[in-house]
Amino acid sequence: MWPYPEFRKKQKEVINVIEKSLRNRKIVGLNAPTGFGKTIVVLYSIARFFKENEDKKCLYVVRTKKEVRPVLKELYMLKSRAAWINYTFLIAKKDMCLHRLRTSQELKLPSEDFIETCRDFRSKNLCPLKRIKPKSFSKISEFLEIAMEEEACPWYACKYMFDEAHFIVATYPYLFNPYIRQSVFSYDVGVLHLKDAVIVVDEAHNLESVIQSSDRGLSAKTVERSLSELDKYSHAVPAILQEACREYLYILLNFMEKYRGAKRYLRLNADYFYGEVVDRINLDILGEASDIIRGIKVEMHGLKARSFLRSVWRFLHYFDIMYTLHYEDIGVFALGDRIEVKMLNPAIATALLNEAYTAILMSGTLPPLDYLRDVYGLKREIEYVKVGDIFPPENKRYFCAANVTTKYRVRGSEVYKKLAYYILYIRARIPSEYIVLTVYPSYEVMSKVLSIYEKAKEKIEEKIFDIVERENTKIDEVAEKIGQLSERVVIHAVAGGKLTEGIELTRDGASLIGAVIVAGLPFPEPNDYLEAYLARMSELYGKEKGWEYVVLIPTLIKVKQAFGRAIRGPKDKASFFILDRRALSKKILELLDIKPTIISLPSRLLA
Ligand code: SF4
């Protein structure tokens, strides 16, 4: 059944461990580097297990739509060797809607709104809900085309396939968003039973994305638009509901006004929010009025319909549930013109993994075992598999600067100057054909360093081309740009951003990145959310563990992710620089699993 000519190093051993764990219902934590072939190893092990366990199915969740593709590709390969394997996928419903695909409409609205509109369309029999039997496919687009040719709603066609499918590939919200999850685990067609599911969580280091699927926010603008909506549709909403809703919205808006403009997360008292706002609002009335408006908007705007009042209701309804069920594990925060309900204990979103048949959490930078157990809230036995280096370890060299740090309290022009000169110094020592990827702790530090770097660069004869990550930078555009350049290149990126997590810069299979500079350890900047999250985790697991789980491990995962950009194959060689003396602590070196050489910038350069 193995779809490739041979097994790569260590793959067979890992397959054995996974198969054994599946039989014993143990959860697997698979920490294996890029190039190991995690996806196929996991799919293959599960497929073999399914041969003897026909009642089981696999729900394989990935962070984004883009990450569905490599999994489908491997399933396609697997099916070419084992025709009995069936698979399907789910991405955002609006991206799989037949009506939208036919008209190529852009739908910029929350998934929850679209799901309600879809329900209305179906109740009016406007949708061709059909089973189709596609040949195997390796791309989302291939499947969408087949479904369109057959005049079938692709989302439902995929859903009908649940019955025969062994593998369902879906994006995170289908597992971690409580509203969207229902469409997988309880629905009119193609239901997956959690107790029979082997759940695979891809990129399981990325708890931020997992939590984001469960957090909820509401902007003052949305509340203001809800008021306008009430005026506009006053003819359709009974006066008594209208009056009540208007009063509720003003209560909410007045509350939000007090905190509007917070530049960083500002914690609000959840009891106060409940008492001052939520307890004074009849959510049934708000729900009824918002549904009337939503219905009219669907009549008028079709798939593009979005009711702002419905968003308000959804937010308050969510808060009400969380406040009742998870009082200690959530916090209410203000940021800009928004208020947000955020989780302070991620386990409330992830502990459902305990109810599955079993689960596999995998990543190239998987957090340690105790983190998985506590932060994910896993109660079952965990088999932690660390694959280690699969490429020659001598291809990686680590360096650390002991005379600089971006510690929050000591930041200033001296620090930024040192970082700028270090970057130029390192760039000059890396062969010109290789890119230097520089990773900063934040946009703010990056811009401060760059302002000095630009001036210092003018004094150097060698031409350097800089690519600077912006909030709207697109990975594909950067990759394309790089292909056209002949100068020395420095990419300036932010830790945890798009370029450090997703970019792959290779030519003929070899990495183009010759050095990665971490210009300051990317510890999170202090704010009320971080403090509240830290306080809750410390309360649950003690101060030391709390700090590790909330601050240290996520920081080091970002560093490892950045390092991971440089070595993509056995022939790649790279140098890694950490410009922050805090990295020399025993704990950090242990967690990063490195022994760096200490470097120092020649003092004449700073004179
Ligand atoms: S059921 Fe209809 S509205 Fe819903 S996704 Fe399919 S085609 Fe679109």
Specify the residue with its C-alpha closest to ligand 1, atom 3: 118
Q: Which domain holds residue 162?
A: 11-108+128-213+357-386
For 3, counting Cβ atoms within 10 Å of its Cβ (0-12 exposed, 13-18 middle, 19+ buried), the class is middle
Confidence of residue 6 (pLDDT cuts 50, 70, 90): very high
On whether both 453 and 311 belong to a single domain, the answer is no
Ligand 1 and 98: CB distance under 6 A:
yes
Task: Return the pLDDT at 62.
Answer: 95
Whether residue 143 lies inside any domain: the answer is yes
Task: Return the pLDDT at 188.
Answer: 65
Task: Return the pLDDT at 482.
Answer: 76
Closest CA to 371 of 525, 557, 590: 557
Radius of gyration from C-alpha coordinates of the chain = 26
Choose one of 93, 132, 183 to mutate for the ligand 1 pocket test, by most ligand atoms within 8 angstroms of C-beta: 93
Confidence of residue 7 (pLDDT cuts 50, 70, 90): very high
Mean of per-residue pLDDT scores for the chain? 92
On whether both 142 and 249 belong to a single domain, the answer is no
Closest atom of ligand 1 to CA, residue 154? 6
Whether residue 408 lies inside any domain: the answer is yes
Task: Return the pLDDT at 451.
Answer: 96
Confidence of residue 388 (pLDDT cuts 50, 70, 90): confident
Joined together, the tokens standing for residue 420 give: 């700028």
Whether residue 121 lies inside any domain: the answer is no
Whether residue 36 lies inside any domain: the answer is yes
On whether both 204 and 337 belong to a single domain, the answer is no
The residue-averaged pLDDT of 523-546 equals 96
On whether both 312 and 262 belong to a single domain, the answer is yes
Task: Return the pLDDT at 522.
Answer: 97
On whether both 433 and 578 belong to a single domain, the answer is yes
Question: In this structure, are residues 230 and 246 in contact, taking their beta carbons and an 8 Å threshold?
Answer: yes
Ligand 1 and 92: CB distance under 6 A:
no
Interval 182-201: pLDDT, tens: 877 776 666 788 899 999 99
On whether both 338 and 417 belong to a single domain, the answer is no
Interval 320-338: pLDDT, tens: 999 999 999 999 999 999 9
Task: Return the pLDDT at 605.
Answer: 66
The residue-averaged pLDDT of 159-171 equals 92
Indicate which CATH number applies to the domain containing 457.
Answer: 3.40.50.300
Task: Return the pLDDT at 475.
Answer: 76
Ligand 1 and 101: CB distance under 6 A:
no
Whether residue 123 lies inside any domain: the answer is no
Q: Looking at this predicted complex, what is its ipTM?
A: 0.99
> Looking at the predicted structure, is the pLDDT value of residue 44 above 90?
yes
Ligand 1 and 155: CB distance under 6 A:
yes
Whether residue 351 lies inside any domain: the answer is no
Confidence of residue 111 (pLDDT cuts 50, 70, 90): confident
Confidence of residue 58 (pLDDT cuts 50, 70, 90): very high
Indicate which CATH number applies to the domain containing 236.
Answer: 1.10.275.30
Task: Return the pLDDT at 606.
Answer: 65
**Residue with structure tokens 């499918």?**
165
On whether both 552 and 584 belong to a single domain, the answer is yes
Specify the residue with its C-alpha closest to ligand 1, atom 5: 97
Helix axes 111-123, 178-185, angle to 10 degrees: 40
On whether both 209 and 220 belong to a single domain, the answer is no
Whether residue 476 lies inside any domain: the answer is yes
State which amino acid sits at residue 336: G
Task: Return the pLDDT at 126.
Answer: 94
Interval 592-603: pLDDT, tens: 999 999 998 877
The residue-averaged pLDDT of 409-424 equals 94
Q: Which of 311, 343, 375 is the last residue of a domain?
A: 343
On whether both 507 and 600 belong to a single domain, the answer is yes
Ligand 1 and 160: CB distance under 6 A:
no
Ligand 1 and 147: CB distance under 6 A:
no
Ligand 1 and 153: CB distance under 6 A:
yes
Specify the residue with its C-alpha closest to ligand 1, atom 8: 97
The residue-averaged pLDDT of 107-128 equals 92
Task: Return the pLDDT at 208.
Answer: 75
Task: Return the pLDDT at 192.
Answer: 84
Closest atom of ligand 1 to CA, residue 127? 2
> Looking at the predicted structure, is the pLDDT value of residue 527 above 70?
yes
The residue-averaged pLDDT of 232-238 equals 94
Closest atom of ligand 1 to CA, residue 129? 1
Domain total for the chain? 3
How far apart, in whole angstroms, are the C-alpha atoms of residue 179 and residue 195?
A: 19
How far apart, in whole angstroms, are the C-alpha atoms of residue 148 and residue 171?
A: 22
> Looking at the predicted structure, is the pLDDT value of residue 266 above 80?
yes
Closest CA to 160 of 185, 189, 198: 189
Question: In this structure, are residues 152 and 175 in contact, taking their beta carbons and an 8 Å threshold?
Answer: no
Joined together, the tokens standing for residue 395 give: 């291809």
